[in-house]
Structure 1
Amino acid sequence: MTRNIRGFHHMGILTRDLDGLEQRFTEFGFTLSPRSRHLLSERPGAAPVPGCTANLCVLFGGSYIELLGIVDESAPDPWHTKAMADEYEGFRILNLDTDDAEAGDRLLTGAGLRTSGVLGLEREVDTEGGPRTMRARAVHVDGTSTPEGYVGIAQHLTRTYVHQPRYLAHPNGARGIAAVLIVAEDDGFDAIADRYARVLQARPERDGPRTVLDMGSGQLEIVRTSDAGEVLPGEPAPSKSYLAAMTVLVDDVDTARATIERSGTETRATGDGFFVSSRDAYGAGLFFTTR
């Protein structure tokens, strides 16, 4: 069976302090794309309108980390981002990559999930050839069925406007996202793992306390709340189930660690790299490795 989901599209860190988040990730040695305001559609077929959010992105040529900020509390909020932030800020969004949003929507509904249908997204971006409009299509899963976070799929229509070569080189040597780690409440663990196995069309494999779903270009890792301390010792738990951490691939662990520690941020050694606490990364734990 051909997979509709091809890997990670982007992960979103949400804040009402976009200036602070931008500064922190710049200090960590990430190159950021320029800030861009969102135009969002409220329902399938509706024209996008200026929303309350803006973003900057850590781009890797395929997937990216979205630094998402609420920048105008009085502006329309068709994607309900303010309600998301009211619950808690941090690593809140996981979007999987597809080249066919309609087929992806059918895959999600076939897995028993309620969706938004296919929505349009636009934002103006600066390119070396002048201003251009980035366009994408997204499908949001009803958040009541994904207690771990706001999950969806996205399809680039203008990928080259987003992943511009001038933003892909990072002083810390980052070159991609290898994994996303979800902490799942013990009672809901089996349902969450089974849901992702169906959506990703992947067989769950065990790796210590982690249940791993391989997408080829990255992997989704799920750990029970009762085992989270083994993987994330001392880390805060913002919810019973939550998006906990990302694994960033780097060229050289020592270079990346030195870059981040120069910002005054503490790091913790891991078996194949190091870890930055979610307390220091605006609610997203960050593993760094060369694997």
Structure 2
Amino acid sequence: MQRTIDAIHHTGILTRDLDGLERRYLDLGFTLSPRSRHLLSARPGEAPVQGGTANRCALFGGSYLELLGIVDESAPDPWHTKAMADQYEGFRLLNLETGDAEAAREQLVAAGVRATGVLDLERDVETEDGVRTVRARAVHVDPTSTPEAMLGVAQHLTREYVHQPRYLSHPNGARAIAAVLIVAADAEADAIIDRYARILGAPVVRKGPRTVLEMGAGQLELVRASQAEAVLPGEPAPAPSYLAAMTIAVDDLAVARSLIENSGVALRETDEGFFVSARDAYGAGLFFVSA
């Protein structure tokens, strides 16, 4: 039976340098949607207002990677993005997917995490038929409940305006976000693993230093900070617990490897493909594997 929360909706990299972030991910071989400003509601039932953030997205048909930039410091900030960036920029956002935002909120509360009511998000995008408004519903988890991630659950209302076919083909052959890796401080690791197992209703599976929670589309991987060097050798640790990396499934590893090497970005080989350091990808480690 389909779980209420059962896929990666999107991941998000936050920066005050959206121009630079865009350039780097174009260099890494991702096709990006046009830049779009956000309309956000601060509370359930309130009309969305134009905030100070904009994004471009690498879209894969199911999940997507959001490049999120603060572009107007003076604009309203109902989702507290500036405070998040003040802590540190980089891989900060993880949104899981649901088909029913109200039911997902109930599941989050039942799992013991504090969450907002259901919030409305809108942004105008260009389509081949003219400007259309992307609409979604989202539930945000109180960041004190999940210090390792700005966690949310999102429901598409207009998926077709987000995952437009013209943006789904990537020079690096990217097809999906196959996994997200969280580093958990040792003292908090058991609680963090248990929390996500309850949120997802998924069994806990140990695979070497990783703990894996399988979803219908994609998986969450967690590793204790004391074992992170085995998985992420030499990588920076911006916080005691944090979103560390994502796994990108591509059509042809050789094509992706050649494109990224030719762009001048360093990589290292892994057992299943190759890896680009968070230092070279605006705070998000990137594993590339075969789709």
Sort the TM-score into its range (normalised by shorter chain).
over 0.9
**Partner of residue 164, structure 2:** 164
Moved over 6 A (4+): none
Cα distance in structure 2, aligned partners of 1:144 and 1:86: 16
**Partner of residue 15, structure 2:** 15
Alignment of 1:267-282 (within 5 A): 267-282=267-282
Cα distance in structure 1, aligned partners of 2:199 and 2:74: 36
Instruction: Write the letter of the residue equivalent to 2:85.
Output: A
Instruction: Write the letter of the residue equivalent to 1:245.
Output: A
Question: Shift of residue 148 of structure 1?
Answer: 0.5
**Partner of residue 55, structure 2:** 55
SS in 2 for 1:264: coil
Alignment of 1:22-171 (within 5 A): 22-171=22-171
Question: Shift of residue 6 of structure 1?
Answer: 2.3
> Bigger CA drift: 253-262 or 84-93?
253-262
Cα distance in structure 2, aligned partners of 1:44 and 1:112: 21
Tell me the number of residue pairs that the alignment of Structure 1 and Structure 2 aligns: 291
Instruction: Write the letter of the residue equivalent to 1:163.
Output: H
**Partner of residue 220, structure 2:** 220
Cα distance in structure 1, aligned partners of 2:51 and 2:63: 23
Instruction: Write the letter of the residue equivalent to 2:106.
Output: R
Cα distance in structure 2, aligned partners of 1:201 and 1:166: 35
SS in 2 for 1:171: coil
Alignment of 1:236-251 (within 5 A): 236-251=236-251
- Note the alpha carbon deviations across 1:200-258, whole angstroms, 9 max, x for none: 11001000000000002111000000000000000000000000000000011111011
- 5+ long unaligned stretches in structure 2: none
**Partner of residue 184, structure 2:** 184
- Note the alpha carbon deviations across 1:135-168, whole angstroms, 9 max, x for none: 0000000001101110010000000000000000
Cα distance in structure 1, aligned partners of 2:71 and 2:263: 25
Cα distance in structure 1, aligned partners of 2:220 and 2:193: 10
Cα distance in structure 1, aligned partners of 2:264 and 2:141: 38
- Note the alpha carbon deviations across 1:183-203, whole angstroms, 9 max, x for none: 000000000000000111100
SS in 2 for 1:116: coil
Instruction: Write the letter of the residue equivalent to 2:267.
Output: T
**Partner of residue 204, structure 1:** 204
Question: Shift of residue 31 of structure 1?
Answer: 0.2
SS in 2 for 1:117: coil
Cα distance in structure 1, aligned partners of 2:126 and 2:69: 19
Cα distance in structure 2, aligned partners of 1:79 and 1:46: 13
Cα distance in structure 1, aligned partners of 2:261 and 2:85: 29
**Partner of residue 173, structure 1:** 173
- Note the alpha carbon deviations across 1:82-107, whole angstroms, 9 max, x for none: 00000000000000000100000000
SS in 1 for 2:106: helix
Cα distance in structure 2, aligned partners of 1:216 and 1:63: 12
Calculate percent identity across the aligned residue pairs: 71
- Note the alpha carbon deviations across 1:56-76, whole angstroms, 9 max, x for none: 000000000000000000000
Question: Shift of residue 2 of structure 1?
Answer: 4.0
What TM-score do you get using the length of structure 1 for normalisation? 0.99
Cα distance in structure 2, aligned partners of 1:217 and 1:112: 24
- 5+ long unaligned stretches in structure 1: none
SS in 2 for 1:143: coil
Cα distance in structure 2, aligned partners of 1:205 and 1:119: 33
